[in-house]
Amino acid sequence: MAETAAPHLVASPIDRVKPNARLIALLALGHGVIDLNQGALPAVLPFLKASHNLSYAAAATIVLAANVTSSLIQPLFGYLADQTARRWMLPVAVLLTGAGFGLTGLAPGYGALLLLVIAMGLGVAAYHPEGYKTATGVAGDRKATALSWFSLGGNVGVALGPPAITALVTALGLGGTLGLLVPTLVVALLLLAVLPAFSEASAPRAARTAAARGVNMPGAMALLILVVMIRSWTSLGFTTFVPFYYIDHLKADPRLVGPLLFVFLGAGALATVVAGPLADRWGPRPFMKWVSSSRRAASSRSSCSGSSAPCSPRASRCRSCSARPTCRGTRGWPRGSSWASPSAPAASA
């Protein structure tokens, strides 16, 4: 009896599951097309505003409708994805997103424009939970790396959206939004063709995770949601209103809006693919701590360097203040304070 039980007590390296690179690449491609359409919306807003004689508030409402639909409804699709696999939602979501955005250039009025944007948002909301779940299922033991590539597809799509739609609209008019239907249809058909492969690749993971259930941590989840909200507010505000500022106030060429947003969003795509392997190597929690501490240090250096104004008492707490040697005396500060440079001239009364 001991002989039969012995094999079950030894961990075998065969238990490790390799990621399915082909399926992850296809999921990342679908993610890219989803976010290609979503990322193109801010760049096409100036053209829609001019065509429909919209105010800034009306133009911002278009972005609000898209993001409320794609964000607030997404937990519902996440709940459905947890109940049972709905792989068919992947090609349907890609098609709905592309059709919703592609037809915005032909919208006869503001109401139709909002409805099309809402349809696009529904497609975005439907793809992400099922896409992440499927990507995790085919990721094997390299989940962070696989998900970083999946996220990279979305980031690349967001970055390519502005220059792509700017080129199409400047060359063909607002009807050029239909051009994004081409990659939409191609990727939707590819996802439809490989639906059975997703189920087969996820089977080994399902057997392994049956006994290892996750622990619900509402507090930690709330903190993560807060961090993502703050990040999204900043990014969305930049991508929505900087094109208007660039065109209306700086009187710049509208064709440069796409490359401008591409640089900003492309930096995020590059950081994503670099961060995934590091998170797998160091562990998610140590990596997040390192990122947070690095951002605080960078923020401290940028806020204290290059100042030509006299340092304040608060600035003395900043160890990296490069303006210390040029600090000038201010009343109430002792001459021998530790913040002052040893070679600094004596302060005048």
Taking the mean position of all CA atoms in its chain, how far away is CA 314? 35
Token pair, residue 90, equals 């992947």
Judged by average pLDDT, the poorest of 144-158, 216-230, 310-324 is 310-324
For the chain, state the CA radius of gyration: 26
190 has a pLDDT exceeding 70: yes
Q: What is the mean pLDDT of residues 74-93?
A: 84
| Matching residue, tokens 């090609």 | 91
Confidence at 200, pLDDT banded by 50, 70, 90 = low
The angle that helices 110-137 and 143-172 make with each other, rounded to 10 degrees, is 150
pLDDT at 300 (0 to 100):
56
Give the Cα separation of 349 and 336 in Å (integer): 14
Judged by average pLDDT, the poorest of 24-33, 44-53, 268-277, 334-343 is 334-343
Tens digit of pLDDT for each residue in 252-294?
776 777 777 777 777 776 776 677 677 667 776 777 777 667 6
Confidence at 201, pLDDT banded by 50, 70, 90 = low
pLDDT at 85 (0 to 100):
72
189 has a pLDDT exceeding 90: yes
Q: Is residue 218 part of a domain?
A: no
pLDDT at 317 (0 to 100):
44
Q: Is residue 5 part of a domain?
A: no
Q: Is residue 339 part of a domain?
A: no
Domain that holds residue 275: 17-205+226-284
102 has a pLDDT exceeding 80: yes
Tens digit of pLDDT for each residue in 3-39?
444 444 333 444 556 777 888 889 999 999 999 999 8
Q: What is the mean pLDDT of residues 305-310?
A: 46
Q: Is residue 301 part of a domain?
A: no
Q: Is residue 324 part of a domain?
A: no
- 325 or 118, higher pLDDT: 118
User: Does the pTM of the predicted model rise above 0.75?
Assistant: no
DSSP-assigned letter for residue 250:
S
Token pair, residue 231, equals 């990040």
Tens digit of pLDDT for each residue in 156-182?
888 888 889 989 999 999 999 999 999
Domain count of the chain? 1
pLDDT at 294 (0 to 100):
67
pLDDT at 224 (0 to 100):
78
Q: What CATH code is carried by the domain that includes residue 187? A: 1.20.1250.20
Q: What is the mean pLDDT of residues 316-331?
A: 43
Residue among 311, 333, 329, 328 at smallest CA distance from 320: 311
CB 62 within 8 A of CB 48: yes
Q: What is the mean pLDDT of the chain?
A: 74
- 118 or 23, higher pLDDT: 118
pLDDT at 126 (0 to 100):
92
Q: Is residue 347 part of a domain?
A: no
112 has a pLDDT exceeding 50: yes
Q: Is residue 258 part of a domain?
A: yes
Give the Cα separation of 125 and 240 in Å (integer): 20
**Three-state secondary structure call for residue 142:** coil
Judged by average pLDDT, the poorest of 193-202, 241-250, 265-274, 309-318 is 309-318
CB 52 within 8 A of CB 112: no
Judged by average pLDDT, the poorest of 112-121, 232-241, 289-298, 320-329 is 320-329
The rounded percent of the chain whose pLDDT value lies above 70 is 70
Tens digit of pLDDT for each residue in 60-71?
899 889 988 988
Q: Is residue 220 part of a domain?
A: no
Q: What is the per-residue DSSP string for 254-266?
A: GGGHHHHHHHHHH
Give the Cα separation of 73 and 191 in Å (integer): 23
Tens digit of pLDDT for each residue in 220-230?
778 877 877 77
Token pair, residue 236, equals 């969305």
